[in-house]
Amino acid sequence: MIDMVTVPERFEEVLKYVATRTAFVRQIFTTSKTNHIHVVAVSDDKKDLLYLLRMIQKKCGDSLTELHSHTVKEVIKDIYGGVNKYGQLSVSNSDGSDGAITECACEGETWEPTEIQDVPDEGDAGDSVGGT
C-alpha cells in the first residue's frame, strides 16, 4: 500500500504518473483527504516495490508533502481473491437483499446498521518517506 499527499497544483500530474508507469500498480484511489492518493501495488519480490517507491520519490518528490508505504502482513477478507478468514455469514444479494450483514458470525447477535460517519484522518504510524 502506498499513500501520498500532493501539493494542490501537482495532484493530477502525480496521479497520471502512478497510473501509467508500472505494471505493479493494481488499484489507485483518491480519498476524502485533500490531495490524497492511495495505491495498491503487488509483486512477488519486495525489491520491485522498493524500486517503485524510489521512482515515485525521484519523479514526484517535489510534488509530494507525504509519502508512506505499508506492507500487507495478512489478508483478512478479499471477496475478489476468495479470502474470508472469519467466515462471514453472507454478503450475497442473490435473494434480492442489499447484502448487508445483520448477524455477527462470532456471537450470533443481530444489529441494526447505522449511518456511517466520516472519521477525521488521524495519521498513520507506518513507514514514511519525506513529509511535513
* Cα-based angle 36, 41, 45 (whole degrees, multiple of 5): 145
State which amino acid sits at residue 106: C
> What 3-state DSSP class applies to 69?
strand
Which H/E stretch holds residue 46? helix 46-60
**pLDDT tens string 1-39:** 999 999 999 999 999 999 998 789 999 999 999 999 999
Residue 84 pLDDT: 78
In order of start, what are the domains of the chain with their CATH numbers? 2-73 (3.30.70.920), 74-112 (no CATH)
Residue 77 pLDDT: 86
Cell numbers given for 18: 502512478
pTM for the whole structure: 0.63
Residue 98 pLDDT: 43
